[in-house]
Copies of this chain bind each other. A is one copy, B any other.
Amino acid sequence: MSLLVQKYGGSSVATIERIKHVAEKVWAAKRAGHDVIVVVSAMAGETNRLLGLAHEISEMPDEREKDVLLASGEQVSIALLSLALKERGQPSRSFLGHQVRIETDNVYGKARIRNIDSRRILQSLKEGEVVVVAGFQGIDEDDNITTLGRGGSDTTAVALAAFLNARACEIYTDVEGVFTTDPGICADAQKLPRISYEEMIELASTGAKVLEIRSVEFAKRFAVPVHVRSTFSDIEGTWVVKEDESMEDLLVSGVSYDKNEVKITILRVPDRPGLAAQVFGPIADAHIVVDMIIQNASADGTTDLTFTVSKADYKKALSIVEKTAPAIAAKGVDVDTDIAKVSVVGVGMRTHAGVAAKMFRVLAEEGVNIEMISTSEIKISVVIDAKYTELAVRVLHEAFIGKQGNV
């Protein structure tokens, strides 16, 4: 028998009716001849309800206790799904993170999985049971409860598929797969039948929300085929897999956008070695992640230093930079909260020249000014005025992918 890992998110188990629906889908996979491990998230809304209780007690709740609190959400959903399977006559057994020893480091709230003890799971599968595992949670080496952060159940599922050498990891969600861009703002968006791990990572890190980035990195590292598909239909979704040659025929697989960043500029700083370290050291010390950084030296010996951070972090970043600015003799600090990052992603860029030039030309023809540019081997991102976001996505999609798609 081949082993299948299925993951169902919070919206898929939001009500008892939906849990029964999930049980039907799992049961069907089992009857089709697969061994099945199911990973579930907390019922939709439960994690936020629990966080709300914690914040009624403390503005900054202790991280260890917050993880104990949040991990209870998945405990409820695994028990209910296992009950629903048994009610159909399908033997089943639920496991918490500590029961199958999903060992993580001890970074509460965003722990990383180090190891999983597969013995108990294999024993249960051997006895014909469907194994239902709590997503999002693990234990550190001292048996403290840890959680993996937002989207952590995806990572649990991929890690189980990796450690147990599953045929595939199916991620069930409320959309039908990975699209060439957001169907909400571009009617021509198409579902991709296949996409490489690298492209999926770039799409996830530039704004696409369908998969959590760490789960894709995990899948890539262990070469786990991931199938993103809908809980509410039976049609094929998108396979996230190892890159193959045919994928390079496409210049661009997807167009993504992110309105969640803020641009901070330090104006006319006298340029000298060590400047960037002096600026970004204190920001890193405050655990703020900086996305794009641009520095341009001008002829008069000064430079403008521009970077972006997430909206959640920008007030903290700004107060740090305003302390640094006088020390480096900057003329001032400028903030723009009204920006968007638009990106095109595709492994074809590695072998085809001219993608960047075409992107800049398409935007120029619509009068969209480019404020920042950042590139990787398979991605080009530009920062533009937020009001042009939807226009930029549509014209880039039209220029690179088109109505018929490139797939």
A 149-168 binary contact with B (CB < 8 Å = 1; else 0): 00000000000000000000
A357 adjacent to chain B (CB < 8 Å): no
A58 touches B72 (CB 8 A): no
A69 to B98, CA, bound (A): 15
8 Å CB contact of A54 from B73, B78, B83, B143? B83
Please tell me how many copies of the chain the complex holds. 2
Query: Most B CB atoms within 10 A — which of A19, A57, A99?
Result: A57
Query: A28 interface residue, CB < 8 Å from B?
Result: no
- In contact, B83 and A78 (Cβ under 8 angstroms): no
With beta carbons under 8 angstroms apart, the residue of B19, B62, B94, B143 that contacts A99 is: B143
Query: Whose C-beta in chain B lies nearest to the C-beta of A100?
Result: B143
B75 touches A69 (CB 8 A): yes
Docked-complex contact A80 and B53, CB < 8 angstroms: yes
Do residues B94 and A68 form an inter-chain contact, with CB atoms below 8 A? yes
List, in ascending order, chain B residues with CB within 8 A of A65's CB.
79-80, 82-83, 86, 92, 94
Which B residues are in CB contact (< 8 Å) with A58? 83-84, 86-87
A83 CA / B53 CA spacing, docked (Å): 10
Q: Looking at the complex, which one of B68, B86, B99 makes contact with A78 (CB distance below 8 Å)?
A: B68
| Interface residue? A76 (CB, 8 A) | yes
Pick from A16, A72, A84, A93 the residue with the most CB of B within 10 Å.
A72
Whether B56 pairs with A79 at a CB distance below 8 angstroms is no
- Is there contact, CB below 8 Å, between B62 and A69? no
Question: Could you tell me if B62 and A83 are in contact, using CB atoms closer than 8 angstroms?
Answer: yes
Q: Which residues of B contact A78 (CB under 8 A)?
A: 68
Q: List A130-145 residues whose CB lies under 8 Å from chain B.
A: 143-145
Query: CB distance B75 to A61 under 8 Å?
Result: no
Q: Which B residues lie within 8 Å of A96 (CB)?
A: 68, 145
Instruction: Collect the chain B residues with CB atoms within 8 Å of residue A83's CB.
Output: 54, 57-58, 61-62, 65-66, 69
Residues on B with C-beta less than 8 A from A62 are 82-83, 86
Report the bound CA distance from A191 to B275 in whole Å.
76
Query: Which chain B residue shows the least CB distance to A69?
Result: B79
| Residue A251 at the chain B interface, CB threshold 8 Å | no
A304 to chain B, nearest CB (A): 44
- What is the CB-to-nearest-CB distance from A335 to chain B, in angstroms, rounded to a whole number? 33
Can you list 30 residue pairs at the A/B interface with Cβ under 8 Å?
Answer: A16-B56, A16-B57, A19-B57, A20-B57, A50-B76, A54-B80, A57-B80, A57-B84, A57-B87, A58-B86, A61-B83, A62-B82, A62-B86, A64-B93, A65-B80, A65-B82, A65-B83, A65-B86, A65-B94, A66-B79, A68-B79, A68-B96, A69-B76, A69-B79, A69-B83, A71-B75, A72-B73, A72-B75, A96-B145, A98-B98
